[in-house]
Amino acid sequence: MKGHISSNKYVLVRMVLFMTFLLLTVSACRKNSSESKDFDPVVYVLGRIIKNPENPVDVKKHAELAMSKWQNDVVDCKPILVNAVLGKPQKIDKVLLAFTIFDEDRDTIGFVIKEEYVDSNGVKTTLEEDYPAYVHCLPFEVADAHWVAIQIRDKHQQKDGQLWSKYVNTDFEQLVNKYIRSDDFSIESLYPGKFWEDTLPPVWVSVPKANKVDVWVYVYDKAGNKSEDVKLLDSTRRTGEN
């Protein structure tokens, strides 16, 4: 069923979204919780990255820094971007920009793409675009993987500032109302990740190319705290072949 929803189903939609929000909020990681004595999901996520022999040295260092922040008994406000990777998983027709983000107060709201191009004459030009993609997103875990479907920048395409401004200035309830009346809506699409992805304006990213295109990424939170820049890795060919 698309493009229309009865008042009863609309109430159901609101209830599902609200209950999902509550469940995610209650289950979010907290320091010194009784559950963390037996299993600490933050240590688990970061530990897997540190122990993975395929991860670059820089990625492991970011994970180790995040681990030390988690274990210092202080809530650190500055987010840490552990890694950023382009990938194209099997049976998915979209290229994904995947992150591992560590943010103890869970208020990361966006990321910045910084691209540097080198032409045949060795002349460098740069492009920097801010994507506040998480302003309407449900709360993050302290350390977790996140991704967003992107458009490949291959003909100098740029972020649509008007679309993103409209997205940021639309409140969550308005987004829900618009979405459930759109042609993209179905009961199955109520899953929060699908809803979020369908309402997001295009995100443009170039594929890194040695000696031609370098891409860097950082994330930022509501207070303006920024992570360090992380070089974007490209695994689109590898993931497409697996």
Q: Can you name the residues that pair with 214 across neighbouring β-strands? A: 116
Q: Which stretches of the chain are assigned E, i.e. beta strand?
A: 80-87, 95-102, 108-118, 124-131, 143-152, 204-205, 213-221, 230-231, 233-234
Bridge partners of 108? 221
For position 129, what pLDDT does the model report? 98
Q: What is the pLDDT of residue 149?
A: 92
Alpha carbon of 189 to those of 40, 42, 90, 134, 178: distances in Å? 31, 29, 20, 18, 14
pLDDT for residue 177: 78
Q: What are the residues facing 130 on neighbouring strands?
A: 112
Query: Residue ranges of the domains in the chain?
Result: 31-159+202-241
Q: Which pLDDT score is estimated for 29?
A: 38
Q: What is the pLDDT of residue 70?
A: 96
List strands edge to edge, sheet with 230-231.
Answer: 124-131, 108-118, 213-221, 230-231
Round to whole Å and give the CA distance between 132 and 161: 11
Reduce the DSSP state of residue 168 to 3 states and report it.
Answer: helix
Q: What is the pLDDT of residue 182?
A: 73
pLDDT at 16: 41
Q: Give me the pLDDT at residue 72, please.
A: 94
Q: In angstroms, rounded to a whole number, what is the distance separating the alpha carbons of residues 175 and 56?
A: 39
Query: Contact 200/147 with Cβ under 8 angstroms?
Result: no
Count the helix, strand and coil residues of the chain and give each as a percent rounded to the nearest 5.
35, 25, 40
Tokens 């009346």 found at: 181
pLDDT per residue rounded down to tens, the chain (242 residues) = 333 444 444 444 444 444 344 344 334 434 444 444 678 999 999 999 999 999 999 999 999 999 999 999 899 999 999 999 999 888 778 899 999 999 999 999 999 999 999 998 999 999 999 999 999 876 678 998 888 999 999 998 999 999 999 999 988 787 777 777 777 666 555 555 677 788 899 999 999 999 999 999 999 999 999 999 999 999 887 544 44
Residue 201: the pLDDT is 96
Residue 198 has what pLDDT? 80
Per-residue burial over 112-131, b = 16 or more CB atoms within 10 Å of its CB, e = otherwise? bbbbbbeeeeeeeeebebeb
Summary count for the chain: helices (H), strands (E): 7, 9
